Amino acid sequence: MKREITPTQKHPKGLLVVYRIAVMLVLILLGVLAVGSLYAFVRPPNSGPLFYIGRQDHGTSFNNWTDDTPVSIFSGIGRLRIPLAGQSAATVVLSISFPYPADDQSFAEELATRVGDFRSIATEYFTALRREDVARLDEAMTKNEILARYNALLRLGRIRELYFTDLIIID
């Protein structure tokens, strides 16, 4: 015996349309995520961002820094007392400072938030050295190494050069 069931009006036809649209949107979103993930794997590792959200001059404070730009000196790292490696109880007393553009408020705020990181980088660098290594230290090479480590942390600008206002070895 054949029985025919007629649909009731509990589920109107409009709900089916909304369901199909929602499924299509989810599938499109998954497709976009898959394509973006594949692009991220193919993209070179050292490439810059594709676009910036917010500030349009993001990261240009170093590039646009000319000789007549007003400059401030950042000395917030303070004086570091770093014990050296080896058998001797030698300590390095070090103060690091550097110039930055005075009119770049966001970069100045980033520098202030990174003081702890700056201190740890300098401490890690010098604790690995013995007293003899520090005594014959190539200051320019040391500054460049620490400068590269500092700039690797920064997102809103770059530091051009470092100053060691104190570099004293205490036995």
Mean pLDDT (10-residue bins), the chain, 171 residues: 65 79 96 91 80 56 64 91 83 92 90 94 90 86 93 91 88 80
Quick one: pLDDT at residue 32? 94
- pTM for the model stands at 0.61
Quick one: pLDDT at residue 61? 46
First to last CA, the chain: 105
Q: Do the strands 91-101 and 163-170 form a parallel or antiparallel pair, or are they unpaired?
A: antiparallel
Quick one: pLDDT at residue 31? 96
Listed in sequence order, the residues at least 6 apart from 34 whose beta carbon sits closer than 8 Å to its beta carbon are none
Quick one: pLDDT at residue 64? 57
Amino acid found at 31 = G
Fold classification of 71-170 is: Tetrahydropterin Synthase; Chain A (3.30.479)
Closest listed residue to residue 94, CA positions, set 67, 124, 73: 124
